[in-house]
Structure 1
């Protein structure tokens, strides 16, 4: 024998050719089994049982019918109740609107009455000042703001910077308005005090006559003069020698302060001499008197 091994019949030593898609077995499996086996079994079972989402027992179907009838009954009763209550609600709303209108009319009437009484009191105060002021009655009435005044003076218009309304920083952003380009109550205080210091005999802001007891404050974003809100631009009228008053204000500390606001924050202002300006009388005057107070030993102080 030659010692050579014999191959079994029908067997070949040549290697089998590999499948062309052998390297894509995972992709092939996904393509051939696009639906998970569990989902496929559930779908087949549902098809066999013929499930349609409805209970198959008689008791279940009766409960379902009862629920539908109850829901329909609730919706119907709610709609009927709403329709029945609609006239009542409309009547109550009409009554409320009528009450608001009546109260508003009553408040307007009271405000008108207050304005009339305030005018009467102011007139009596002015007459009292003129009657008891002696030789200086006219000067006292002028300085106290009891009477209108007209004469030469200056007009100073102050307005917010263009586009004021955004946030800002700097030394003016600590209190009050958040925007440094807006005119604040303390700015108007300095401007008015600068006018008085420059020699103004009478001052008004947007038609509001200022007196020794006038207050310039802020409420939110509004500037209040004697508790009346003003809107920019702020028109300041001052009676006095026009040229001297304007020059004195510009050279004062407060005038330079206004110039700094213009240069650093964009606040706009203009000042001009006027041959004739007219200021109204103060809306109301507060008359205060002082009396000596007795001490424990009977002396006065």
Structure 2
């Protein structure tokens, strides 16, 4: 009995269970291929060429060692060059010191010659005053400052205030452009000297420097110049004259009252006293000038 042909049995392939992270395919790809393909090919090529046998740390250490060796070489060469150049530098320094000493000696010699010539000129001027001044030649020499004088007078000392470097003030002196009102200014000394002349002084000096009719008291920064020579406080003013009378007349004069106001308002220190004998030197140089009467011009009608 022929039966109907039966179909061959079907083989079923067992299916793998689905991965739990199948939905995270992009993340899986990054984790499975953390090294880029280009980097992987380059690494493979270097390995094939034999260039990847030295670790990076070893190469870094070798580079550092080479840098240290180079630095040591530079320092050694510099030290050797300095050791070679040291004698030359020392010799040049000694030569420079010798030149400075020679120039200093030359300057001292020239300064001595200038002082000697100035003294000679002063002597000649005094002789000329005695010769051509007649019986008033000595008086002319005293008044002009060409002769040294001595006699009674007053000693006036003017000094900066104790707070001159730390404190300021307010008043006319500050409004005039002076930030430190406790310092003695050139105009203060000008008023003092003019007041002494007006009170009857016959000869005046400041810090040992004789004043004449042509003397100038000026300022250069914080320094006071008398005939272009700087002075430092305290300023000692000597004035030859009738001591007690000169002192009284000066203190009662407008300039003496001005000095008293500086003392009371700004702390400038002053002291005045009559002296029995003062000695004032002659002026270092006096310019002798002569005057002649002008001829009258006749007018034309």
| TM-score past 0.5 threshold | yes
SS in 2 for 1:250: helix
Cα drift, residue 155 of structure 1 = 1.2
Matched, 1:137 2:137: yes
Cα drift, residue 65 of structure 1 = 4.6
Cα drift, residue 102 of structure 1 = 1.4
Aligned CA RMSD, in angstroms, stands at 2.6
Task: Name stretches of at least 5 consecutive residues in structure 2 with no aligned partner.
Answer: 1-53
The 1:146–1:57 alpha-carbon spacing in structure 2 relative to 1, beyond 3 Å, is closer
CA distance in structure 2 between the partners assigned to 1:147 and 1:55 by the alignment: 99
SS in 1 for 2:56: coil
Q: In structure 1, what is the equivalent of residue 254 of structure 2?
A: 253
Q: In structure 2, what is the equivalent of residue 69 of structure 1?
A: 69
Q: How many residues align?
A: 244
The 1:124–1:174 alpha-carbon spacing in structure 2 relative to 1, beyond 3 Å, is farther
Q: Deviations over 1:99-134 (max 9, x none)?
A: 112111111111111111111111111111111111
Q: Deviations over 1:128-179 (max 9, x none)?
A: 1111111211111111011111122111111111232124243223567642
CA distance in structure 2 between the partners assigned to 1:100 and 1:263 by the alignment: 51
CA distance in structure 2 between the partners assigned to 1:211 and 1:257 by the alignment: 23
CA distance in structure 2 between the partners assigned to 1:55 and 1:118 by the alignment: 89
CA distance in structure 2 between the partners assigned to 1:146 and 1:61 by the alignment: 88
Q: How does 1:173-192 map to 2 (within 5 A)?
A: 173=174, 178-192=179-193
Deviates more, 1:241-250 or 1:184-193: 241-250
Contact 1:177–1:221 (CA under 8 A) maintained in structure 2: no
Cα drift, residue 273 of structure 1 = 1.4
CA distance in structure 1 between the partners assigned to 2:177 and 2:93 by the alignment: 41
SS in 2 for 1:68: helix
The 1:163–1:241 alpha-carbon spacing in structure 2 relative to 1, beyond 3 Å, is same
CA distance in structure 1 between the partners assigned to 2:167 and 2:239 by the alignment: 33
TM-score normalised according to structure 1 size = 0.74
Work out which of the two has the higher radius of gyration on C-alpha atoms and give 1 or 2: 2
TM-score normalised according to structure 2 size = 0.74
The 1:116–1:62 alpha-carbon spacing in structure 2 relative to 1, beyond 3 Å, is same
Q: How does 1:105-184 map to 2 (within 5 A)?
A: 105-169=105-169, 170-173=171-174, 178-184=179-185
SS in 2 for 1:180: coil
Cα drift, residue 59 of structure 1 = 6.5
The 1:70–1:175 alpha-carbon spacing in structure 2 relative to 1, beyond 3 Å, is farther
